[in-house]
C-alpha cells in the first residue's frame, strides 16, 4: 500500500486542477477601464483561456481514471487504488458523458475548427458542470482519505 501515497496525491492534485479555472475567475475580477487601457484585460483573458484548457484536461484525466481507461502501462486507474467506483460515481455511472467528453476533446485536447472558448461559451458551462459533479469529487475525496488512512496505519 505504501506506494500509493504518490498516486493518491496525484489524484488529489488533479481534483484541485479541475477547479483552477473557476477559482481564478472568482478571484480575478475583470479589470476596470483604467486597467483595460494598460492591456490587463487581454492578459487576464489569456490566463482564463489557459486555465480553462488546463481544467478541462484535468477533468478528462479524472474521467479516464474513473472509467479505468489505461492508455499506457504506467497510467493510474481507480482499481489500482481499490477505489469503490459504484460509491464514487453513484447513480451517474460516469464523471463525463460521452457528449461532454467529446466537447472536452474537441475544445481542449485537440486543435479543431470549434475552438476552446467558443465551444465552452456556446455549448457548455464549466461552472455548471463542476457544480453538477461536486458530489462525485466529494465521494472520491472520501475514498482517497480512506486509502491515506490505511497507509498511515501500516
Boundaries of domain holding 97: 4-153
Say what percent of the chain tops pLDDT 70.
Answer: 76
CA distances (Å), origin 134, targets 41, 67, 81, 101, 131: 30, 17, 21, 17, 5
Average pLDDT over residues 6-32: 83
Q: What is the pTM for the complete model shown?
A: 0.80
Domain count, the chain: 1
Least Cα distance to 63 among 23, 109, 20 occurs for 109
The span from the first CA to the last CA of the chain, in angstroms, equals 8
pLDDT tens-digit map of 41-95 = 567 777 878 888 899 999 999 999 999 888 888 899 999 999 999 999 998 889 9
| Grid cell for residue 131 | 457544480
pLDDT tens-digit map of 113-146 = 666 666 665 556 788 888 999 999 999 999 999 9
Amino acid at each position: 500500500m505504501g506506494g500509493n501515497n504518490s498516486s493518491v496525491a496525484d489524484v488529489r492534485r488533479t481534483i484541485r486542477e479541475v477547479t483552477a479555472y473557476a477559482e481564478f475567475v472568482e478571484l480575478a475580477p475583470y479589470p476596470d477601464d483604467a486597467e483595460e487601457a494598460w492591456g490587463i484585460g487581454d492578459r487576464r483573458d489569456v490566463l482564463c483561456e489557459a486555465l480553462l484548457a488546463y481544467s478541462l484536461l484535468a477533468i478528462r484525466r479524472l474521467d479516464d481514471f474513473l472509467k479505468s481507461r489505461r492508455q499506457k502501462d504506467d497510467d493510474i486507474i481507480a482499481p489500482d487504488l481499490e477505489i469503490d467506483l459504484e460509491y464514487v460515481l453513484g447513480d451517474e455511472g460516469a464523471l463525463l458523458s460521452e457528449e461532454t467528453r467529446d466537447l472536452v476533446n474537441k475544445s481542449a485536447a485537440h486543435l479543431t475548427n470549434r475552438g476552446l472558448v467558443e465551444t465552452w461559451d456556446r455549448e457548455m458551462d464549466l461552472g455548471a458542470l463542476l457544480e453538477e459533479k461536486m458530489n462525485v469529487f466529494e465521494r472520491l475525496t472520501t475514498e482517497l482519505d480512506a486509502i491515506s488512512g490505511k497507509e498511515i496505519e501500516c
